[in-house]
């Protein structure tokens, strides 16, 4: 066997105890331990061994990457399943371990460990894959294979990562439609904190990242350990602590009853489970961002300014109106024009038409070609909205193929948004969607798909049996996206699901960005984008400038606040620009130009967020990889208890370099009352990076729902 393995990358260490025949256990996951000999690793493992306490087992109970009751583990089990009631508990024995190290390669993965194990009595084999990425992430998944002559019913597979006792506080996210990614924190007490999703999609209330950390941890302070489940269907993540002092984070797919039944020779592969360690949430985020940016298929060209037509016209589509909107979009510097819902057969409102993916000739007698030609003549790409997985009962498709609708067999699920779910586990339904998507992308040379998914999967049965079908549905969606992109390699896809209902690293292996929320109220978006950024870098977060009055909340915001908020994502526009004044369009054009100039910094730099003591004032920004330049937003969310609010720190700069700090146009001054004033350094101040991060500069006095941009340039 391999004894002890020490895997290191980018300030992270992972120590694996591979002695004996049982599954490996993680002895340490966290800060880099430096070079250690095998003798030192053995001492470290010995130092971690537990004592035998009263009224416990007579042997130490190890926590393996897949915990087993046969080893004495009485917490949440790693594998649950059975053969008609037998083989309910496993005792896997390792047959082989292989390690691969690629430090010389500029590859996403630095270390890879594969473990081949078998439980001969249960007639199961297990293949574990554990990787450490170049950015310091740990990720693992497992493949279970039935080697028996009868069916094995799999109920669940959970993979774990240990955390130390010092991780005494938990943070995860929740939310709802129009208010996704709301943080919640509490003590990491004994027992299990379970975040389980049964919505059939990642969910607007999804945990995103389950974080355990030192009490009071922030963006820049405290050790933190976070776990993410890279799966777009039902899933679970948990934080568990037992009286023996063992603490862990774990995750996997939530399987519905009877959903995975492995026939002889069949296998199930779990989703990838990602773990990120950091000193502060910013470092935890940076590991995710670094991994995503290192992938070969990560979007690496400048993220085009995108106008989406939804809040501009809704279902009121006609050629004249949309060509006028395209003209206005081009005037302000838009680079991509996306036609949203309403272009296909019978789609005059949200009651009908889903599934009938043919251009409606009553609205578009010449098809979409006149609009597409006009958009391209203005130098813009063309994108189109779809919701492939859904179907309205009032549609030709539903009337022709009612058997393609997900149901339990004897009844239909309740409607949501007047729609049901198309069963992609049905080969003919899958083939129909692939043909329609491929035909439309080919005919119109579509550059970009806004791929929506607007309802939860309730009683998502697979026809004709009516058995649970969420796992098969999710896998089929992945295959559909993969096949479409293999036929159209330059096609970009946005993951949209009632806004931010499908945000995970599973779907993002196939898509280029997410639509963070259907709410583009800039005040709400400050929080939504901040916490979506816990997982995703800015270039993968769709962030649009809405109309002066937010459609979802009725709030009115200045153009600078709306545009300055959208600047720190993949910027777009969701506004009927034909109704904007000439002054508004000119001001928006200045923001678009600033975005284009800042793209190389925003989408390659390090995201930073200051732990400012005043909750009414947020400070966030992006620092260039070489730390030569940074751009920060100072955002006044509400009135402050004190006025002036005091100094703000600008994190992430080179301690020993000197920077010139000054407000940055067009966000150099806040629109609104004249009493919103900038401080003494408005004309520029030169200070070392150590002073800017440790001491800071006086914050401007801003009215609520205003922001200013600040630039730091090394001199």
Query: What tens digit of pLDDT does each residue of 431-473 get?
Result: 999 999 999 999 999 999 999 999 999 999 998 889 999 999 9
Asked if pLDDT for residue 106 goes beyond 70, the answer is no
Least confident of 198-202, 311-315, 680-684: 680-684
Q: What is the mean pLDDT of residues 648-669?
A: 95
Distance CA 336, CA 84 (A): 56
Q: How confident is the model at residue 643 (pLDDT cuts 50, 70, 90)?
A: confident
Q: How confident is the model at residue 561 (pLDDT cuts 50, 70, 90)?
A: very high
β-pairing, 647-648 vs 658-663, is unpaired
Domain with CATH 2.60.40.1180 in the chain: 607-714
What pLDDT digit, counting tens, does each position of 2-59 carry?
799 999 999 999 999 999 999 999 999 999 999 999 999 999 999 888 778 899 888 8
Contact 134, 217 (CB under 8 A): no
Helices (H), ranges, 403-469: 427-444
Asked if pLDDT for residue 675 goes beyond 80, the answer is no
Share above pLDDT 90 across residues of the chain, in percent, rounded to a whole number: 92
Among the listed residues 666, 663, 661, the one whose alpha carbon sits nearest the alpha carbon of residue 567: 666
Distance CA 323, CA 689 (A): 49
Distance CA 154, CA 161 (A): 22
Neighbours of 47 (CB within 10 A): 8
Least confident of 126-130, 243-247, 375-379, 475-479: 243-247
Token pair, residue 8, equals 């290191």
Distance CA 260, CA 379 (A): 49
Token pair, residue 356, equals 């009938």
Domain with CATH 2.70.98.60 in the chain: 3-51+58-294
What pLDDT digit, counting tens, does each position of 224-261 carry?
999 999 999 999 999 999 999 999 999 999 999 999 99
Distance CA 651, CA 537 (A): 17
β-pairing, 336-339 vs 306-308, is parallel
Q: How far is CA 342 from the centre of its chain?
A: 28
Token pair, residue 217, equals 């941890």
Domain 607-714, CATH number (from 3.30.30.60, 2.60.40.420, 3.30.300.30, 2.60.40.1180): 2.60.40.1180
Q: What is the mean pLDDT of residues 630-643?
A: 95
Instruction: Tell if the pTM clears 0.75, that is, is over it.
Output: yes
Put the strands of the sheet holding 12-18 in their side by side order.
3-9, 12-18, 25-31
SS3 569: coil
SS3 270: coil
- pLDDT value at position 645? 85
Q: How confident is the model at residue 102 (pLDDT cuts 50, 70, 90)?
A: confident
Domain 3-51+58-294 sits in CATH at 2.70.98.60
What pLDDT digit, counting tens, does each position of 121-131 carry?
999 999 999 99
Tell me the pLDDT of the chain averaged across its residues.
Answer: 96
Asked if pLDDT for residue 670 goes beyond 80, the answer is no
Contact 690, 631 (CB under 8 A): no
Neighbours of 59 (CB within 10 A): 9
Distance CA 376, CA 27 (A): 57
Least confident of 276-290, 307-321, 506-520, 665-679: 665-679
Distance CA 144, CA 255 (A): 14
Among the listed residues 380, 455, 383, 382, the one whose alpha carbon sits nearest the alpha carbon of residue 422: 455
Q: How confident is the model at residue 681 (pLDDT cuts 50, 70, 90)?
A: confident
Active site residues: 452, 518
Helix axes 582-602, 559-566, angle to 10 degrees: 20
Q: How confident is the model at residue 674 (pLDDT cuts 50, 70, 90)?
A: very low
Distance CA 74, CA 459 (A): 32
Q: What is the mean pLDDT of residues 170-195?
A: 98
C-alpha dist (Å) from residue 447 to 85, 124, 196, 335, 389: 52, 45, 36, 11, 20
C-alpha dist (Å) from residue 352 to 133, 152, 316, 423: 46, 42, 15, 18
Q: What is the mean pLDDT of residues 608-626?
A: 97
- pLDDT value at position 463? 81
Q: What dihedral angle (degrees, nearest 10) is formed by the CA atoms of 197, 198, 200, 202?
A: -10
Q: Which class for 129: exposed (0-12), middle (13-18), buried (19 or more C-beta within 10 A)?
A: middle
SS3 552: coil
The DSSP call for residue 166 is: T
């Amino acid at each position: 066997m391999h004894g002890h393995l020490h895997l290191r990358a980018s300030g992270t260490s992972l120590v694996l105890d591979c002695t004996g025949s049982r599954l490996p256990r993680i002895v340490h996951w966290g800060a880099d331990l430096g070079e250690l000999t095998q003798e030192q690793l053995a001492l470290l493992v010995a130092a971690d061994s537990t004592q035998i306490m009263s009224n416990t087992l007579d042997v130490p109970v190890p926590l393996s990457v897949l915990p087993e009751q046969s080893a004495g583990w009485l917490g949440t089990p790693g594998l649950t399943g059975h053969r008609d009631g037998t083989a309910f508990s496993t005792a896997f024995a390792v047959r082989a371990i292989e390690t691969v190290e690629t430090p010389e390669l500029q590859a996403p993965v630095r270390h890879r460990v594969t473990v081949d194990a078998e439980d001969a009595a249960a007639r199961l084999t297990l293949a574990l894959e554990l990787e450490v990425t170049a950015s310091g992430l740990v990720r693992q998944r497992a493949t279970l294979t039935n080697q028996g002559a009868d069916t094995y019913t799999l109920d669940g597979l959970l993979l774990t990562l240990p955390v130390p006792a010092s991780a005494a506080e938990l943070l995860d996210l929740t939310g709802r439609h129009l208010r996704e990614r709301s943080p919640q924190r509490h003590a990491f007490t004994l027992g299990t904190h379970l975040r389980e999703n049964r919505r059939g999609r990642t969910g607007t209330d999804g945990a995103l990242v389950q974080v355990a950390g030192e009490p009071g941890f922030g963006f820049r302070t405290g050790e933190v350990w976070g776990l993410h489940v890279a799966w777009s269907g039902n899933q679970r993540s948990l934080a568990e602590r037992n009286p023996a002092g063992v603490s862990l984070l774990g995750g996997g797919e939530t399987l519905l009853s009877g959903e995975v039944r492995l026939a002889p020779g069949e296998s199930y592969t779990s989703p990838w489970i990602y773990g990120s360690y950091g000193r502060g949430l910013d470092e935890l985020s940076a590991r995710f961002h670094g991994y995503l940016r290192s992938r070969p298929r990560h979007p690496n060209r400048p993220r085009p300014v995108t106008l989406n037509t939804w809040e501009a016209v809704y279902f009121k589509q006609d050629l004249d109106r949309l060509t006028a909107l395209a003209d206005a979009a081009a005037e302000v510097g838009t680079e991509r024009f996306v036609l949203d819902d309403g272009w296909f057969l019978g789609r005059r409102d949200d009651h009908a038409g889903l599934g009938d993916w043919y251009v409606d000739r009553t609205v578009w007698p010449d098809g979409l070609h006149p609009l597409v030609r006009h958009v391209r003549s203005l130098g813009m790409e063309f994108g189109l909205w779809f919701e492939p997985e859904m179907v309205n009962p009032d549609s030709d498709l539903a009337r022709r193929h009612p058997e393609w609708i997900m149901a339990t067999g004897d009844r239909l699920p309740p409607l949501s948004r007047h729609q049901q779910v198309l069963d992609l586990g049905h080969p003919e339904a899958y083939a129909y969607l692939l043909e329609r998507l491929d035909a439309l992308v080919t005919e119109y040379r579509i550059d970009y798909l806004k791929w929506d998914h607007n309802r939860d999967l309730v009683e998502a049965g697979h026809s004709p049996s009516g058995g649970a079908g969420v796992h098969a549905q999710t896998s089929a969606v992945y295959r559909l996206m993969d096949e479409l992109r293999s036929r159209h390699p330059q096609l970009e896809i946005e993951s949209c699901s009632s806004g931010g209902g499908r945000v995970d690293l599973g779907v993002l292996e196939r898509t280029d960005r997410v639509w963070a929320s259907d709410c583009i109220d800039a005040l709400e978006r400050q929080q939504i984008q901040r916490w979506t950024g816990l997982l995703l870098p800015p270039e993968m977060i769709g962030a649009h400038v809405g109309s002066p009055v937010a459609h979802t909340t009725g709030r009115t915001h200045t153009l600078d606040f709306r545009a300055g908020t959208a600047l720190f994502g993949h910027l777009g526009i969701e506004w009927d620009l034909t109704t904007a004044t000439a002054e508004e369009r000119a001001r928006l054009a200045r923001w678009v130009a600033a975005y284009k100039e800042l793209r190389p910094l925003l989408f390659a730099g390090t995201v930073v967020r200051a732990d400012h003591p005043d909750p009414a004032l947020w400070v966030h920004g992006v620092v260039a990889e070489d730390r030569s330049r940074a751009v920060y937003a100072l955002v006044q969310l509400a009135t402050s208890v004190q006025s002036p609010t005091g100094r703000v720190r600008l994190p992430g700069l080179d301690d020993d370099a000197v920077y010139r700090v000054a407000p940055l146009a067009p966000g150099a001054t806040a629109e609104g009352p004249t009493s919103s004033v900038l401080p003494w350094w408005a004309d520029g101040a030169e200070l070392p990076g150590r002073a800017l991060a440790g001491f800071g500069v006086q914050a401007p006095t801003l009215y609520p729902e205003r922001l200013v941009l600040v630039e730091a340039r090394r001199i």
